[in-house]
Structure 1
Amino acid sequence: MAMNMRFLCHNVFLNTDQCFKWLQDNDLAPLNPKCSVCGDEMKTDVKGGNQIRFRCKKAKNAHDVVQNALLNTFFEDSKFGLMNIVTVMYYFSWNLTNYDFLINECSFDGITTCRNTIADWLSFCREVCFLWLGDKFENEELLGGEGVVVEVDGAEIKKRKFKSGRLVQGTWVIGIMELNTNIVISKRERRDGRFRLEVCPENSRSAEFLVPLIVKHVKPRTTIVTNLWKTYFGLNTKGYDHFIVNHNKFVDLLPSASTKTLKSNWRPALKTGLRGDCNADRLAEYMYRREVMINGDDPFEHFLKAVKHVYPTK
């Protein structure tokens, strides 16, 4: 059965106890442990919608053992309520992140959810994307290799300030894409392959910071195509075959070399714009959603797996 909002309303959002049981069934919260005193299974004790604990209280043995049931989970120390958090998780996974919409969905009994609370939990969800991608890239094979072409390009991500249309300086990122890999997206074949996107350390475009990022993600003896940005000029000394594209003069030093494929893949991030305090998280969100789309996964089920990966309960 698909875990859509109807499913959640009928099976999960009945009360806080039922929501916590669903989290346990999906490995998002720990199972009830054994009491350290008597060895019996501790019971779930819900106080309001926010505090959930495991408790074993027995007058016979004169003990009252209490444990935080959400310790080291995605939901720890939250006063937002489990059902509200799962609601934000669901809509975030489907990219429905309009603040007014989420405030309305998470408000009840005359209590209006604070806008800052929504902002915090969207940030926590983006953090999951960031950490999940980091682990994924650490365990993946490097891009490129002998005979493989990889595009590298840098861009400044800008955002609009209020309604004036004035652009403020954003964050520099470096994108790396492997070509000659066929991927099917929504039944349409596209000639773009595995992808990396890194925030430039200290917002610097110098070779000191950017070249190590390329070495981190690209195999030696790869053919790397870049523009005339002088930062890239030392790549030949790092064991790469480096070719340059001069778009201004319309002269390509490598036949068919172009960095337009790469630019088209981060266009959504460029269009959306990023807040200055969470650029890396929003870039990770964009890349995460791209991974889900390419794999054809259910967004909510995939996000639950990402949360379980970042906050394991076993």
Structure 2
Amino acid sequence: MVLKSRTERNGGQVFRCTKNRNHVKSLRANSFFEKTKVEIQDIVVFIKSYLDKNSLYQCSKFSGVAYKSTAVNWASYIRELFKEYFSRRTYNKVIRGIVEIDESLFGRRVKYHRGNPNKGLKVWIFGLVDRESNSIILYPVTDRTKETLIPLIQRHVAPGSTIYSDGWSAYLDLNTLGYRHFTILHKYAFKKAYKNVETGDITYVHTNRIEGAWKHAKDHFRRIVGTKSGQFEGHLAEIMWRSECKGDVYQKFFDLVKEVYPLNKPAEYLYTTPLFDSWEGPPEHEASGDENNEEKIMPVESGAETSESEDMNMPQPQASSSVAVAGPAVITVSSSSEDEADKTLNSSILHQPMPNPRKTQLPS
């Protein structure tokens, strides 16, 4: 077979048999660009612009493709690759070392009592952040019970690892499951020191990494002004891919393309729908053709102020008459009741909370 060029603009090049001219194979066969008639260079420009976090409208302008049809379709094709990456790599990823865990609410938020608070879809997201690589794993969950969250932790966190979390009651059994679990109650402080009574080593506990990850995740949805519920999983997969594939994102993206599209055979996608086994998927809507019927998911505030607001399955500590002196980066409120709460939440008897040196008494 010899390589021949077609005269039409969008035809590209084909392999043609020298003995039978009717035997033709496209140069794009089994590739990421097989089913499109758009010029490959235009698609590459679109992909680069998309990876640079430009808006879909800007991507279409830079690449010269149609905004409401071609650009939307290719953005969906790109996210399908991210979903495949989650299915092949992230789903079975095991983290060792220090891990931060938390939950956050994604959905429409009504401010100043304006608008319908029941409109839009609200989804709880469970997240794990690896302190070493600063990568995040996200799961939409139907609820935040330990029956839902503990299996996800056991899937991704190796036994013997250290886990930092807030005081959510679903995490209370982590010490008995082979983990070194430390908690920080955001109601009282954002950083806590624990001292090992045997070695004297001090462990400083905070969940700033996971809180920062929530900001980046929600900034992604703010940048695209929310998304339809049917596309929500693809965007979560994109957030996880970006957190893990830092640096030369262009090279890493096309490495993923080569893995999924080997060229010597058709591409085979392995991911399932719904992508995450921690929920039943977004609500299905009737195929009426009206896109406005589909609910949108918008970001709300970070989970730091929501995770501690619900009642835990234990008595809440009562604050004593003490005033915290705020430092430049950490605001800590310490009291005897806070220390008792931390002793209850951290079942490891080797680590006890240290008193806060910034604690000052109110003048009588």
Between structures 1 and 2, the one with greater helix share: 1
Q: CA-to-partner distance for each residue in 1:147-197, whole Å, 9 max, x for gaps?
A: x43211111223579xx8877444322221233x4xxxxxxxxxxx34331
Alignment match, 1:43: 3
Alignment match, 1:185: none
| 1:114-193 to 2 correspondences below 5 Å | 114-137=67-90, 142-144=94-96, 148-158=97-107, 168-179=120-131, 181=132, 193=133
Alignment match, 2:32: 74
Assess if the C-alpha contact under 8 Å between 1:157 and 1:269 holds in 2: no
Q: State the structure with more CA Rg.
A: 2
Assess if the C-alpha contact under 8 Å between 1:55 and 1:64 holds in 2: no
Assess if the C-alpha contact under 8 Å between 2:50 and 2:59 holds in 1: no
What letter matches 2:144 in structure 1? R
Say whether 1:277 aligns with 2:221: no
Q: CA-to-partner distance for each residue in 1:33-75, whole Å, 9 max, x for gaps?
A: xxxxxxxx242453634445644355xx556212343233211
Q: Which runs of 5+ in 1 are unaligned?
A: 1-40, 182-192
Say whether 1:260 aligns with 2:220: no
What letter matches 2:102 in structure 1? D
What letter matches 2:128 in structure 1? I
| 1:202-241 to 2 correspondences below 5 Å | 203-241=142-180
How far residue 266 of structure 1 moved from its aligned partner, in angstroms, is 3.0
How far residue 218 of structure 1 moved from its aligned partner, in angstroms, is 0.6
Distance in 1, Cα, partners of 2:241 & 2:206? 25
Distance in 2, Cα, partners of 1:129 & 1:259? 27
Alignment match, 1:304: 254
How far residue 229 of structure 1 moved from its aligned partner, in angstroms, is 2.0
Calculate percent identity across the aligned residue pairs.
Answer: 24
Say whether 1:102 aligns with 2:59: yes
CA RMSD of aligned residues (A): 3.2
Alignment equivalent of 2:181, drawn from 229, 242, 259: 242
Say whether 1:197 aligns with 2:140: no
Bigger RCO (CA 8 Å, 6+ sep): 2
| TM-score normalised by structure 2 residue count | 0.57
Assess if the C-alpha contact under 8 Å between 1:220 and 1:239 holds in 2: yes
Distance in 1, Cα, partners of 2:92 & 2:231? 25
